[in-house]
Amino acid sequence: MSTKAPRPRDTDRQRVIVVSGGTDGMGRAFALARVRSGDKVVALGSNPEKGRRLLEEATRSGAVGGIEFVRVDLASVGGTRSAIARVVAAHDAVDSLVLFANRHSPRRVLTEDGLERTFALYYLSRFLLGEGLGPLLRRSARPVIVNVAGVGARAGRIHWDDLRLEHRYGTVRAQLQAGRANDLLGVAHAARPGETVPYVLYHPGFTRSGDLGPLPAPARLLIRALARVAARPVEESVAPVHGFVDNPPKAPLTAIDRGRSLPLDLPTLAPGDAERLAEVTRELLRAITSGGGGHGR
Ligand SMILES: NC(=O)c1ccc[n+]([C@@H]2O[C@H](COP(=O)([O-])OP(=O)(O)OC[C@H]3O[C@@H](n4cnc5c(N)ncnc54)[C@H](OP(=O)(O)O)[C@@H]3O)[C@@H](O)[C@H]2O)c1
């Protein structure tokens, strides 16, 4: 697989690329490569020290575009909405929204909105960013949303009656639920009547990135040992994302697992489930916005 850098811009206007989780791992590598090629990058992340280092590295390594760090806790609905408002206030258009933010949560944690944290961070922030930045994306001549998660995996499911995983929590169970929710998010987006922004679901495969800090020591050691022999370098995993941004697919929905195009009739991409999840998500957001929180599910 190609690990080449993004191709030079081919529009007069500087491209604006919003990167959720742009301060570490694949998102950071992607953000730095884009800024070096002349794009304007807005990197979202929660850790101010990582944000500072990102800006330093961009300057040190000869960024010709611009880079902005927006500090935000994407597990918070209000925080995510504030970050969206900041982007909307500062930019007339957004060309690409690239979604990387995620974190393992070995314990079940409820957010300030009453949601299970992995679901809120890994799935709901991506729902909100897609919706909130939709009007700006539709102003771009060649927009795209790229959701970097685990499309193609069949493990895990949406626990419709227990989205907060109150009855049986596990780190992997939470990751898989939110991963399957991201698959359905792409399906729901592409099914919207009149939607013009193509959506790419991308599975990067096992990659030498990922903050293992929250995991117990034995799991950290095991994953590090496996990564040394089996994981892909970050640049290799990120290379296709540059391709999606430089040449957005024409199809409303594209699903790629590493280099392989996936059929869109996979059971994990069922349109009925996508519609159901979109409706459940809207209900949750209505409850949160009206002060009731996400405690119902
Ligand atoms: N690594 C793999 O093997 C692998 C395999 C398959 C799929 N993936 C998927 O690929 C994506 C990127 O993975 P990665 O390995 O690059 O992850 P990573 O290195 O752990 O980076 C995660 C990013 O998310 C941000 N983040 C975490 N919690 C946040 C919060 N509450 N608010 C705002 N930002 C937050 C982090 O920034 P801060 O620390 O600044 O908050 C960081 O920039 C994820 O969706 C992951 O599930 C990864």
Q: Where are the domains of the chain?
A: 16-289
Tell me what the pLDDT averaged over the chain comes to: 93
Residue 7 has pLDDT above 70, yes or no: no
**Looking at residue 63, what is its pLDDT?**
78
Ligand 1 atom, smallest distance to 209 CA? 15
Report the alpha-carbon distance of residue 237 to residue 203 in Å, rounded.
9
**Looking at residue 61, what is its pLDDT?**
85
Closest CA to 21 of 96, 72, 81, 88: 72
**Looking at residue 215, what is its pLDDT?**
81
Residue 9 has pLDDT above 50, yes or no: no
Ligand 1 atom, smallest distance to 27 CA? 16
Instruction: Compute the average pLDDT of residues 44-52.
Output: 98
Distance in Å, CA 100 to ligand 1 centroid: 5
3-state secondary structure the chain: CCCCCCCCCCCCCCCEEEEECCCCHHHHHHHHHHHHCCCEEEEEECCHHHHHHHHHHHHHCCCCCEEEEEECCCCCHHHHHHHHHHHHHHCCCCCEEEECCCCCCCCCCECCCCCEHHHHHHHHHHHHHHHHCHHHHCCCCCCEEEEECCCCCCCCCCCCCCCCCCCCCCHHHHHHHHHHHHHHHHHHHHHCCCCCCCEEEEECCCECCCCCCCCCHHHHHHHHHHHHHHCECHHHHHHHHHHHHHCCCCCCEEEEECCEECCCCCHHHCHHHHHHHHHHHHHHHHHHHCCCCCCCC
Q: For residue 214, give both structure tokens.
A: 């929250």
Is ligand 1 within 6 A of the CB of residue 209? yes
Is ligand 1 within 6 A of the CB of residue 143? no
Q: Are 97 and 142 in contact (CB under 8 A)?
A: no
The class level of CATH for 16-289 reads alpha beta
Distance in Å, CA 74 to ligand 1 centroid: 11
Which pLDDT band, with edges at 50, 70 and 90, does 229 fall under?
confident
Number of Cβ atoms within 10 Å of the Cβ of 31: 32
Residue 181 has pLDDT above 70, yes or no: yes
Which pLDDT band, with edges at 50, 70 and 90, does 281 fall under?
very high
Distance in Å, CA 228 to ligand 1 centroid: 19
Distance in Å, CA 86 to ligand 1 centroid: 22
Instruction: Compute the average pLDDT of residues 98-112.
Output: 96
Instruction: Compute the average pLDDT of residues 58-69.
Output: 87
Q: Are 179 and 156 in contact (CB under 8 A)?
A: yes
Distance in Å, CA 119 to ligand 1 centroid: 14
Instruction: Compute the average pLDDT of residues 243-268.
Output: 97
Is ligand 1 within 6 A of the CB of residue 27? yes
Which pLDDT band, with edges at 50, 70 and 90, does 226 fall under?
confident
Is ligand 1 within 6 A of the CB of residue 248? no
Residue 246 has pLDDT above 70, yes or no: yes
**Looking at residue 64, what is its pLDDT?**
76
Residue 179 has pLDDT above 80, yes or no: yes
Instruction: Compute the average pLDDT of residues 134-159.
Output: 97
